[in-house]
Amino acid sequence: FTFSNPAPSGKCTIFTLILRGAFTPTWPAAVDWPDATPPTHTTQAMYVFTTVDAGTTWLGNQAGAGYA
């Protein structure tokens, strides 16, 4: 994935990504996950990404997984 066009530094950009396929996503190096560990993708998962520094660092969180 490539995350593009975030707001300028000092402004907040947030987006939600819902993945439905059975695959292993490759996240950009700029994503900072809790405990520095990307979550294991489960089919039908929702992720939320936030940046306040124009995309230099994205805070990534898995908001849910295993939806029916």
Amino acid at 25: P
pLDDT tens digits for 25-39? 999 999 999 999 999
Using CA atoms, how far apart are residues 62 and 52, in angstroms rounded to an integer?
19
Mean pLDDT of 56-65: 97
- The model's pTM is 0.93
Residue 68 has a pLDDT of 80
